[in-house]
């Protein structure tokens, strides 16, 4: 039925030779040209450009007072940052934006070199590595050798232990020191170690930039060089920086390793890098089992159990042989000292430090008599996460580069460096290992646990032991009851503490050997000297200790209510007791 003309207009006419379904006629021919950049790509480039501002002003201010030519270079970099910001938003093709990415990477590298020129003295990590390199050059032992004279400078920190002492020995695998040795032959200072780690970081940033897909490349610049935290660790001489760089090719597209049942040259190179990373710093040890579990699950999904096991065995064997070759000389020289040195960060019982859950007992309560349970919880969480990865690899596989570091949040040493020094690996996995890579990965089939709620309960159950241990550590009371009084003198408008008198009661059934220090804010002082009481306090016994600060005087901190405390720690068992120091 014809409804007639539509309201507001007459009949619609169309050409007889034009089909009813055809669209509007083209007014100009289609042309093809270079593809425009994705908006995500522009955003990544812009974020990397903005990240270069972080810390740049402080470096410029420092350079103006000490090295004006470096300040001039930084000023030129400011102009480069501004220009890069404009180009990031106006580049018309993907190729042009990739060139902007390369320019941002170059600017970041120049700023890192400027920062190194201003600060390359290193901290305790760099000082120890440089001394180890010097020992290698002269054919002297590296492990088990205390070097207390290295820590005379206030800028060089020292790791204090809960047994009332400190660590003066080298406690890292040897590769960084081996690489620093020829540099130390020419540069007879800590700069030999910091030059190796800074050069490694720059190399790693370029490597990650090249390995990532184009839209992600500037993210590599930002994470490795732009935000400022990794260059700071490189200037300090941290061996973990070199381990990070060696792990980058291991993590990028790691799910492709051994595809088809053969490692091939890429797989062999990845295994070599993994072994070298494990021979550089202990953090690589924690990532390795997660990678191996994930690799086995992925390969078993497409190859079957026998071939998958063969791939993982060859990969692991190549990495292990690489690690053994780097360590062989030092192990043969003195096996027990070498082994003790490699395990030192795990066994030394260093004093509490960090931003993790141990802060409950260190900062917010009067202490704990079961600090060891934080360590137990950390270890159990690591095993629990590894088991969860095996059972639920299709879900957790994309997060394998992040999962190992969760365990450090429960440890007695939970400083943020353990979390953030490996963050470029998070980026590498996010950009090159999609969730779809685990779609066919093998997972153990557990009877009666096919429903999602049951699997969630199992996953939570794997973490319960760690939670229980941490709860015991955080909820336990301090082992000592301390009452503190202070002897002070007035000098030039301020007050100094000459000694503290601590009346101490051991409330436990264990003999304890307390060691005393002060704490203002988050860090503990050097050990105070205790006299008047016994070296160890018997169960339920009491004693009075006269505790004197290092150097004989300790200035009372300013403020109306300073958070100034006396802490008493013991090494075996690990305990801490905190009491406020009266300042009025």
pTM of the model: 0.90
* H or E, element range at 60: helix 56-66
How many residues are there in the chain? 584
pLDDT at 158: 86
Exposure on the CB side of residue 321, measured as CA atoms within 13 A: 10
Return the number of other C-beta atoms located less than 10 Å from residue 567's C-beta: 23
Q: Give CA 145 to chain center in angstroms.
A: 27
d(CA 467, CA 448): 26
Q: Write out pLDDT tens, residues 89-109.
A: 999 999 999 999 999 999 999
| Per-residue confidence (pLDDT) for residue 502, from 0 to 100 | 94
pLDDT < 70: residue spans in the chain: 1-33, 153-155, 447-452, 559-561
Check residue 13 and give its pLDDT.
Answer: 41
Q: Are 123 and 155 in contact (CB under 8 A)?
A: yes
User: Sign (positive/negative) of CA torsion 16, 20, 24, 29?
Assistant: negative
């Amino acid at each position: 039925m014809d409804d007639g003309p539509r309201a507001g207009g007459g009949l619609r006419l169309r050409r007889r030779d034009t089909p009813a379904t055809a669209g509007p006629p083209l007014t100009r021919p289609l042309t093809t040209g270079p593809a425009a950049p994705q908006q995500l790509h522009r955003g990544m480039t812009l974020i990397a450009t903005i990240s270069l501002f972080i810390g740049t002003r402080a470096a410029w201010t420092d350079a103006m007072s000490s090295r004006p030519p470096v300040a001039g270079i930084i000023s030129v970099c400011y102009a480069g940052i501004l220009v890069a910001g404009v180009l990031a938003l106006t580049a018309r093709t993907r190729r042009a934006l990739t060139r902007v990415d390369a320019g941002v990477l170059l600017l970041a590298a120049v700023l890192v070199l400027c920062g190194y020129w201003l600060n390359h003295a290193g901290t305790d990590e760099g000082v120890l590595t440089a001394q180890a390199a010097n020992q290698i050059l002269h054919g002297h032992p590296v492990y088990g050798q205390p070097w207390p004279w290295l820590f005379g400078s206030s800028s060089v920190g020292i790791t204090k232990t809960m047994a009332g002492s400190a660590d003066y020995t080298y406690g890292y695998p040897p590769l960084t020191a081996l690489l620093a040795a020829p540099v130390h032959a020419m540069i007879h200072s800590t700069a030999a170690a910091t030059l190796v780690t800074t050069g490694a970081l720059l190399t790693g940033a370029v490597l990650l930039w090249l390995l990532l897909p184009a839209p992600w490349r500037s993210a590599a610049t930002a994470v490795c060089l732009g935000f400022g935290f990794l260059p700071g660790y490189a200037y300090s001489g941290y061996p973990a920086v070199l381990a990070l760089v060696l792990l980058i090719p291991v993590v990028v597209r790691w799910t492709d390793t051994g595809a088809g049942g053969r490692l091939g040259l890429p797989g062999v190179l990845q295994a070599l890098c993994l072994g070298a990373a494990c021979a550089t710093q202990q953090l690589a040890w924690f990532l390795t089992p997660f990678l191996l579990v994930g690799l086995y699950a992925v390969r078993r999904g497409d190859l079957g159990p026998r071939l998958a096991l063969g791939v993982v065995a060859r990969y692991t064997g190549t990495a292990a042989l690489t690690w053994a070759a780097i360590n062989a000389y030092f192990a043969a020289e003195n096996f027990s000292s070498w082994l003790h040195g490699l395990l030192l960060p795990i066994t030394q019982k260093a004093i509490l430090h960090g931003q993790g859950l141990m802060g409950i007992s260190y900062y917010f309560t009067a202490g704990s008599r079961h600090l060891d349970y934080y360590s137990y919880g950390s270890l159990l969480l690591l095993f629990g996460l590894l088991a969860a990865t095996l059972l639920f690899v299709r879900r957790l596989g994309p997060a394998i580069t992040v999962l190992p570091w969760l365990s450090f949040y429960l440890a007695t040493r939970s400083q943020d460096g353990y979390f953030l020094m490996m963050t470029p690996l998070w980026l590498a996995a996010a950009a090159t290992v999609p969730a779809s890579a685990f779609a066919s990965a093998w997972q153990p089939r557990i009877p009666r646990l096919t429903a999602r709620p049951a699997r969630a309960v199992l996953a939570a159950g794997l973490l319960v032991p760690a939670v229980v241990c941490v709860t015991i550590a955080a909820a336990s009371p301090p082992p000592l009851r301390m009452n503190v009084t202070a002897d002070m003198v007035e000098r030039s408008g301020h007050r100094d503490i000459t000694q503290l008198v601590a009346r101490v009661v051991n409330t436990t059934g264990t003999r304890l050997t307390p060691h005393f220090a002060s704490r203002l804010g988050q860090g503990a002082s050097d050990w105070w000297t205790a006299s008047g009481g016994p070296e160890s306090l018997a169960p339920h016994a009491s004693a009075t200790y006269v505790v004197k600060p290092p150097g004989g005087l300790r200035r009372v901190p300013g403020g109306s209510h300073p958070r100034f405390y006396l802490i008493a720690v013991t090494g075996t068992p690990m305990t801490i007791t905190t009491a406020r120091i009266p300042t009025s």
